């Protein structure tokens, strides 16, 4: 059955939602997982490092894996990961975060490559779904834990069944048969060469096969590295810098953008200091969702403008954390929303530019490979955040603002 454009959009919207929702929920729960005494970037580091490793090595092997086999792995890794995250023990929880991250990285590479076969309608659906995942994940987590007072472990466990929605992949028409043949072996000898190898002595056959495998492996790696190099300046570098700035804001600076809970005009849902952090996460994801869902209306070709604007946001919130310039949370909440809007716009416009500018024979490779960039930016932000958040918090304590140490 051939799917309509609307059905393709819905399928990829759901894929984007499911693939990213666990990542978002884990980041929203960072303050509950590690508490106020440890930097939240520790959770970010474990939530992004396995995904980054998968994306980094994927260009060299991913074409060998059938899409349907990847889907099964995604379901197993995601479900098991969230079960471990909800377990309660710190060590088991961190292992679950790493497993969920592994699934998220593999899922992003897989579904971005699939958009090559369904073109812009699928990419728009995927991007909107990933934005929806942020809003859904952070919003539901805030609802469960801050408003309904459901225990954190139960709230996390409720998300472990969502990955079963990946089974919707099997409604796509013939993709697994269409692309499984792309996993060609390194040796592509013609029949005469194969017959000659068969007639040769066993030791000779083994030597020739090993030599040809080594030559083809080197050629494949060299070609892959060259194709990656061509993607760095126009696509990967601006996406990396946007994500570097926004995740330094989210995980290192935002936990210190706090206000006294007893002041006038404080939002009614700020009952604890952790509620402020969770609210920031929800507003950020709302901005991401809106920008990723409206890229078909407003297209941006100059990606480096977004990098510059996001860096400006980072400077502004860092100054707020250090000097306490604005005494009201409302302008900061708007700034966090705007930060998410820029981040979502950078993501979707990067991949739309790839669909438009990269030639057909390299497009599937580019769509999967450029996803390295956002994860690399997040990874660097996590490493910086391990030192930046404690540094800002220590300054606030010395300045008479000890809120970053309170729950």
Output the domain CATH number for residue 131.
1.20.1250.20
Q: Which residues of 71-97 are buried (b: 16+ CB within 10 A; e: fewer)?
A: bebbbebbbbbbbbbbbeeeeebbbbb
pLDDT tens for each residue of 38-76? 777 888 888 899 999 999 998 888 888 999 999 999 999
User: Does some domain include residue 133?
Assistant: yes
Q: Is 187 exposed, middle or buried (0-12, 13-18, 19+ CB in 10 A)?
A: middle
The pair of three-digit structure tokens given for residue 392, joined into one six-digit string: 């800002």
The pair of three-digit structure tokens given for residue 25, joined into one six-digit string: 């929920």
User: Does some domain include residue 313?
Assistant: yes
**In whole angstroms, what is the distance from residue 131 CA to residue 293 CA?**
7
CA angle 272/277/278 to nearest 5° reads 90
Provide DSSP, 63-131: GGS-HHHHHHHHHHHHHHHHHHHTT--HHHHHHHHHHHHHHHHHHHHHHHHHHHHHHHHHHHHHHHHHH
Distances (CA, A) of 110 to 41, 186, 362: 27, 21, 15
Cβ-contact 32, 274 below 8 angstroms: yes
Cβ-contact 137, 282 below 8 angstroms: no
User: Does some domain include residue 199?
Assistant: no
Per-position pLDDT tens, the chain of length 407:
677 889 999 999 999 999 999 888 888 888 788 777 777 788 888 889 999 999 999 888 888 899 999 999 999 999 999 999 888 678 888 899 999 999 999 999 999 999 988 888 999 999 999 989 988 888 888 888 878 888 888 988 998 889 999 999 998 865 544 444 443 333 344 444 434 434 444 445 455 445 555 656 677 788 888 989 999 999 999 999 999 999 999 989 999 999 999 888 788 778 888 888 888 988 998 999 899 888 777 788 889 999 999 999 999 999 999 999 999 999 999 999 999 999 999 999 999 999 999 999 889 899 989 989 999 999 999 899 989 999 999 999 999 999 998 87
Q: Nearest to residue 364, comparing CAs of 172, 115, 180, 144?
A: 115
The pair of three-digit structure tokens given for residue 76, joined into one six-digit string: 């197993």
Kindly tell me the number of DSSP H helices and DSSP E strands found in the chain: 15, 0
User: Does some domain include residue 215?
Assistant: no
The pair of three-digit structure tokens given for residue 267, joined into one six-digit string: 């939002």
Cβ-contact 369, 112 below 8 angstroms: no
User: Does some domain include residue 193?
Assistant: no
Distance from the first to the final alpha carbon of the chain: 54
User: Does some domain include residue 203?
Assistant: no
Range of the domain at 287: 5-183+229-405
User: Does some domain include residue 326?
Assistant: yes
User: Does some domain include residue 195?
Assistant: no
Distances (CA, A) of 26 to 102, 143, 291, 323: 13, 15, 22, 30
**In whole angstroms, what is the distance from residue 144 CA to residue 181 CA?**
45
pLDDT at 247: 92
Domain count, the chain: 1
Question: Which residue carries 């997982």 as its tokens?
Answer: 33
Cβ-contact 41, 251 below 8 angstroms: yes
Backbone region of residue 406 per phi and psi (left: phi > 0; alpha: psi in -120 to 50; beta: other values): beta
**In whole angstroms, what is the distance from residue 18 CA to residue 16 CA?**
6
CA angle 57/369/380 to nearest 5° reads 75
């Amino acid at each position: 059955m051939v799917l309509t454009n609307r059905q393709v959009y819905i399928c990829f919207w759901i894929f984007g939602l499911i693939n990213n929702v666990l990542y978002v929920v884990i980041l929203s729960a960072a303050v509950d997982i590690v508490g106020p005494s440890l930097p939240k970037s520790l959770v970010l580091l474990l939530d992004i490092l396995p995904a980054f490793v998968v994306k980094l090595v994927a260009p060299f092997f991913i074409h060998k894996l059938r899409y349907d086999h990847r889907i099964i792995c995604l379901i197993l890794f995601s479900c098991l990961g969230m079960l471990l995250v909800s377990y309660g023990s710190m060590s088991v929880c961190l292992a679950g975060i790493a497993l969920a991250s592994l699934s998220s990285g593999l899922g992003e590479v897989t579904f971005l490559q699939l958009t090559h076969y369904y073109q812009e309608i699928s990419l728009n659906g995927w991007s909107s779904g990933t934005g929806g995942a942020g809003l859904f994940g952070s919003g539901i987590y805030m609802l469960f834990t801050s408003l309904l007072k459901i225990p954190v472990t139960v709230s996390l466990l409720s998300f472990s069944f969502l990955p079963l929605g990946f089974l919707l992949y099997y409604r796509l028409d013939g993709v697994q048969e269409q692309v499984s043949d792309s996993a060609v072996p390194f040796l592509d000898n013609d029949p005469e060469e194969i017959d000659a190898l068969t007639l040769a002595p066993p030791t000779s056959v083994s030597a020739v096969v090993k030599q040809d495998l080594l030559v083809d492996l080197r050629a494949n790696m060299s070609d892959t590295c060259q194709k990656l190099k061509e993607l760095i300046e126009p696509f990967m570098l601006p996406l990396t810098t946007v994500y570097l700035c926004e995740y330094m804001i989210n995980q290192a600076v935002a936990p210190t953008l706090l206000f006294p809970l007893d002041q006038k005009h404080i939002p009614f849902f700020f009952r604890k200091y952790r509620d402020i952090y969770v609210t920031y996460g929800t507003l950020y994801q709302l901005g991401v969702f809106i920008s990723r869902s409206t890229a078909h209306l407003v297209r941006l070709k100059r990606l480096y403008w977004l990098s510059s604007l996001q860096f400006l946001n980072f400077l502004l919130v860092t100054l707020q954390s250090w000097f306490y310039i604005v005494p009201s949370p409302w302008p900061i909440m708007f700034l966090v929303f705007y930060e998410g809007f820029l981040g979502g716009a950078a993501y979707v416009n990067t991949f739309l530019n790839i669909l438009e500018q990269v030639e057909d024979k390299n497009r599937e490779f580019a769509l999967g490979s450029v996803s390295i960039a956002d994860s690399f930016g997040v990874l660097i932000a996590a490493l910086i955040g391990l030192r930046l958040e404690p540094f800002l918090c220590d300054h606030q304590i010395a300045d008479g603002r000890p809120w970053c140490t309170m729950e």
